[in-house]
Structure 1
Amino acid sequence: MSLLGKYLKGWTFRADRPSLEVGSEIDVFVAESNGTTGRAYIGDTELLVDGAGPDVVEKQARVRVTEFDETAASGRGEFVEVIGESSYTE
């Protein structure tokens, strides 16, 4: 194995349109909310989060994926809990 091969061993590239598995729980930052449904972005993938109200905006939340369309890179999930704060909020 070359020196470059040894250096790059185990490296992977992150996709800008990740695939989400229905039933899995993921951690996301909720970007906005219309009052009852939040919106989170994972790369170019958009996830609508049912139950994520305005109090969850700009916070890290755990979400259970309920549906996902890989072709459209969009899906829906259910809000589970807030797990962290954004370092950008006061």
Structure 2
Amino acid sequence: MSRFESLFAGLTFRTSTPAFEVGDEVPAFVTGRGDDGLLVRVGDTVLELPDADPSLLDAKVQIEIESFDARTHRGTARVVDVLEEAE
């Protein structure tokens, strides 16, 4: 391995459209409201929380991905736990 390769080994670039798999659990902030409920935005990826309590707007929550379309970077999720209440 060259010095250049060893210097940059393991380096990855962050994307503005992260992808998720069904069943993934991730922490996220509830950032808005949509037609079908609350929304979580992770970069340009949008996850809908259709059954979430409206009082969770601006809260930090642990969510589980229920569906995800990698082509459109949209999906649905459910709230597993509230990590920080909204102020």
Q: Same fold (TM over 0.5)?
A: yes
Matched to 1:40, the amino acid is V
Runs of 5+ unmatched residues, structure 2: none
Runs of 5+ unmatched residues, structure 1: none
Distance of 2:50 and 2:81 partners within structure 1: 12
TM-score calculated relative to the size of structure 1: 0.78
Distance of 2:5 and 2:55 partners within structure 1: 47
On the 8 A contact 1:67/1:76 being kept in 2, the answer is yes
Matched to 1:78, the amino acid is R
Q: Does 1:28 align with 2:32?
A: no
Matched to 1:65, the amino acid is I
Deviation at residue 65 of structure 1 after TM alignment: 0.7
| Cα root mean square deviation, aligned | 2.1
Q: Give the number of aligned pairs.
A: 85
Q: Which residue of 2 aligns with 1:51?
A: 51
Deviation at residue 8 of structure 1 after TM alignment: 2.9
Give the % identical residues: 28
Distance of 2:54 and 2:7 partners within structure 1: 45
TM-score calculated relative to the size of structure 2: 0.80
